[in-house]
Each structure stands twice: as C-alpha cells, then as structure tokens.
C-alpha cells in the first residue's frame, strides 16, 4: 500500500516537473520580432558616451523585457512624499501607477506624509502594497524637497535591505499615462529633464557658484537630470542619497543653498557617478497635452500646479 502510494507520488511529482519544464520552454520560445542590427531610431541618441542605454519608445520590446525580468521575482520599492497641500496629488499618482507602473511586478510603495489620515483608499493590485510613514512637515518647500534625500537614505538602511531589489524615488505632483516597466531597471538610473534635453550644457541650470558642493563649470556636464525621478539598486541609491545628504548639509553649514536644491546635488552626483541607464523625457514629461517631435509616448508627467497657492512659502 505504502509502496503504491510512493509510486503515485513520484508520478505526480514527475507530471508537475514536466509541466514546469514545459512552461519554462514556452517562456524561452516567446516569439518576438528579430532584433535589427542596422535599423533603429535615428532621431534620438540611444546610448550615452559612456555606453549607457537611453530608453526611448521603439528601442525595446516590452513583452520580451517583462519575460526576462519576471523570472527574477523582483520587488521594486517606490517612494513618494506628500506634505502639506501636496496630499491632493496622492490619489491620481497611486491610481495611475496601478494602471501603468511595473504592472505584474511586486511593488512596494512608501508614502511619507504629515497627514496619514488624508491618504485616500486606493485599491492595490495583487503583490502591490502601500506603507504610510508619518513625518513632520517642514516650513519651506525647499526644505521638504531637500529632506527627501536623508529620509530615503534612512529608509534604505532601516527598512529595505533584503526587502527590495530596486528603488525608484518619484515626485508626487505627477501622473502615469503610459507604461513604466522593467526597461527602466538598472544599477543607477537617471531621467533626462523634459525642458533641458536639447540645449547646450552651458545653459543647463546647474549650480554655478563654486562655493556650493553642487557646483558644475560651464564646460562640464553630460545631461541635465530631473530631480523628480531617479532610482537603481538599493546599494547605488543608498550611496547617492547619502552623498547628496552630506553635500546638502555642507552647503547649509556654509549658508549656501544650491539653485535647485537637491536636484542640483543630484546633477553633480550623476556627473561624478555616471548612471548605468538613462530614461528619456518620456519618463518625466511636461504635461499630457505638450508635444515634441522625439516624444512618441508620454509615460509619466508633471501635473500642473499653482505654485503660489500650493507651496507653504514663495
């Protein structure tokens, strides 16, 4: 009786195993368009001078990328801050993320806010969670924006180690309109700013005063990166946030605040520590109705806001 039972178990186990092998084969045999060696987009650069890919619509196959990354059972931590009146953006941010952001992947959102009670109920999909952390509000918008570096540094140290594979840190006054998926994953990821992708580097709004740690000379710099979105591996983003937090506090001790606060320091960081992947302005656009020739799809945009009404100070 026992022997027959074990034979049955072996047979069932064998069937499950061959099913898995069969499934795995199907995955390997995903049919997709042959990669072309000679054709591709010619209206944009798809690689940086240090050979980092620049991600544009038309240069990747979403189904193929998803099938590669899904095998790794990844968790993507995503942080967002909503302090003071910026809580009004949370609903659209989260709802649009549910529709477009890493669909089918495990995503853990961390929302920092001074008003946890104001966070709306958003129905999260399978394997997607939201953790709310209460933080005290600061008086100046510049301080709120800058303080994110320190908060992120601490979050990675205390919460995320071994709980996530990648992290993205995003502005909340934003909304997703198109796919943002595994094509964006990399060790260190920056987004090219939507207003400065086509101007000479001496016109970039880098910090130009040598007294600041964020200083970049007129003849230096690669791209102008948005402060509203960056990401990468936990280790690399930890190093980024720690460095920017240190440089911000050195500036504060010297009574200087970089022209675009932590965005200026992020740009200095990316000059010295080149991103391994760059996202085109499709991934941080000016608004859903704005058009520009190279932008074939708007994936993620700024939401227009009345600065005087929404910010706690001018």
Binding partner of 244, given ligand UDP, Mn ion, none, CB within 5-8 angstroms per partner class: none
Q: Which residue has the tokens 């580097």?
A: 201
The verdict on 298 binding ligand UDP (CB under 6 A) reads: no
**DSSP assigned state of 116:** G
Site for ligand UDP in 222-241 (CB under 6 A): 228
Give the DSSP per-residue string, 125-179: -TTEEEEEEE----SSHHHHHHHHHHHHHHHIIIIITTT-SEEEEE-SSEEE-S-
The tokens for 218 are 């007129």
Question: Which residues, numbered 144-173, are part of the site for Mn ion (CB under 5 A)?
Answer: 171, 173
CB of 228 to Mn ion, least distance (A): 5
Clarify whether 263 is annotated catalytic: yes
Q: Does 262 bind Mn ion (CB under 5 A)?
A: no
What does 258 interact with, of ligand UDP, Mn ion, none (CB < 5 to 8 A by kind)?
none
Gap between the Cα atoms of 190 and 311, Å rounded: 26
In this structure, what is the dihedral angle of CA atoms 258, 263, 265, 268, given to the nearest 10 degrees? -120
251 binds ligand UDP (CB under 6 A): no
Applying CB under 5 A, does 263 fall inside the site for Mn ion?
no
| 122/198 Cα distance (integer angstroms) | 38
Q: Which entry of ligand UDP, Mn ion, none binds 153, CB below 5 to 8 A by partner kind?
A: none
Contact 77, 160 (CB under 8 A): yes
Give the binding range for ligand UDP (CB under 6 A) out of 13-21, 60-68, 168-176, 236-244: 168-176
Give the residue with the Cβ less far from Mn ion, 69 or 260: 260
Regarding 196 and contact with ligand UDP (CB under 6 A), the answer is no
Under rule CB under 5 A, residue 257 binds Mn ion: no
- Note whether 169 binds ligand UDP by CB under 6 A: no
Q: Contact with ligand UDP (CB under 6 A): which of 171, 183, 207, 257?
A: 171
Helical segments of the chain, H only: 2-28, 62-70, 90-100, 141-155, 234-253, 261-272, 307-310
Category of 298 on φ-ψ map: left (φ > 0), alpha (ψ -120 to 50) or beta? beta
C-alpha 235/C-alpha 242 separation (Å) is 11
Give me the catalytic one of 57, 183, 263, 282. Answer: 263
Smallest gap from Cβ 299 to ligand UDP, in A, equals: 17
* CB-nearer residue toward Mn ion: 220 or 290: 290
Site for ligand UDP in 75-94 (CB under 6 A): 81-84, 86
- Spatial CB neighbours of 128, under 8 Å, sequence gap ≥ 6: 98, 106, 107, 108, 109
Which string of x and - marks every residue 171-190 that binds Mn ion (by CB under 5 A)?
A: x-x-----------------
Q: Which residues bind ligand UDP (CB under 6 A)?
A: 81-84, 86, 141, 144-145, 171-173, 228, 311-312
Q: Which residues bind Mn ion (CB under 5 A)?
A: 171, 173, 228
Query: Could you list the active site residues?
Result: 263
């Amino acid at each position: 009786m026992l022997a027959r039972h074990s034979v049955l178990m072996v047979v069932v186990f064998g069937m499950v195993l061959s099913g898995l092998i069969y499934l795995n084969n199907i995955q390997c045999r995903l049919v997709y368009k042959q990669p072309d060696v000679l054709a591709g987009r010619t209206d944009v650069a798809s690689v940086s001078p240090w050979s980092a890919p620049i991600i544009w619509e038309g240069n990747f196959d979403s189904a193929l990328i998803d099938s590669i990354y899904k095998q790794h059972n990844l968790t993507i931590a995503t942080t967002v801050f909503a302090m003071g009146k910026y809580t009004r953006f949370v609903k659209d941010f989260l709802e649009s993320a549910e529709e477009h952001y890493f669909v089918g992947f495990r995503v853990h959102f961390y929302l920092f806010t001074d008003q946890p009670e104001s966070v709306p109920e958003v129905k999260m999909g399978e394997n997607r969670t939201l953790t709310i952390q209460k933080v005290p509000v600061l008086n100046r918008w510049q301080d709120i924006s800058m303080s994110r570096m320190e908060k992120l540094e601490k979050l990675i140290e205390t919460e995320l180690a071994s709980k996530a594979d990648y992290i993205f840190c995003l502005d909340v006054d934003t909304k997703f309109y198109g796919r943002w998926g595994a094509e964006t994953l990399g060790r260190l990821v920056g987004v090219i700013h939507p207003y400065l992708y086509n101007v000479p580097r001496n016109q970039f709004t880098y910090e130009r005063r040598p007294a600041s740690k964020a200083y970049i000379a007129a003849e230096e710099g690669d791209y102008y990166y948005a402060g509203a979105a960056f990401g990468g591996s936990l280790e690399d983003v930890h190093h980024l946030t720690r460095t920017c937090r240190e440089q911000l506090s050195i500036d504060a001790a010297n009574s200087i605040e970089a022209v675009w606060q932590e965005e200026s320091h992020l740009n200095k960081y990316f000059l010295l520590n080149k991103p391994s992947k760059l996202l085109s302005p499709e991934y941080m656009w000016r608004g859903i109705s704005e058009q520009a020739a190279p932008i074939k799809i708007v994936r993620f945009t700024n939401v227009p806001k009345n600065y005087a009404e929404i910010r706690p100070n001018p």
